[in-house]
């Protein structure tokens, strides 16, 4: 019978934090691709809404490490 090595809470945190952060960074890069004016049409207001919401969600995520706060879905 093979013995299973149980992942510690820290190891699980590191594994998930790295994977989720890398996914988030990839998605942010894709948002940056929307800046191509030859392909997309947008206003400065649209851009401000996107980045304001991203910044707000980052603040909320950080706050959750000290307590809890709910986030909301983004919609232009």
> Contact, 50 vs 74, CB < 8 A?
yes
Question: What is residue 66's predicted lDDT score, i.e. its pLDDT?
Answer: 86
Q: Is the pTM of this model over 0.85?
A: no
- Which of 15, 23, 65 is CA-nearest to residue 7? 15
Question: What is residue 70's predicted lDDT score, i.e. its pLDDT?
Answer: 66
Model confidence pLDDT, tens digit, residues 39-61: 999 999 999 999 999 999 999 99
Domain layout of the chain by residue ranges: 9-64
pLDDT above 90: residue 72: no
| Calpha distance 56→63 (Å, rounded) | 10
Question: What is residue 49's predicted lDDT score, i.e. its pLDDT?
Answer: 97
């Amino acid at each position: 019978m093979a013995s299973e090595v149980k992942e510690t809470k820290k190891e699980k945190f590191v594994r998930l934090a790295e994977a989720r952060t890398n996914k988030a960074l990839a998605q942010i890069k894709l948002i940056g691709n929307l800046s191509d004016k030859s392909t997309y049409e947008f206003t400065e207001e649209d851009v401000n809404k996107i980045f304001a919401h991203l910044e707000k969600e980052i603040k909320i995520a950080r706050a959750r490490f000290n307590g809890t706060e709910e986030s909301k879905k983004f919609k232009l």
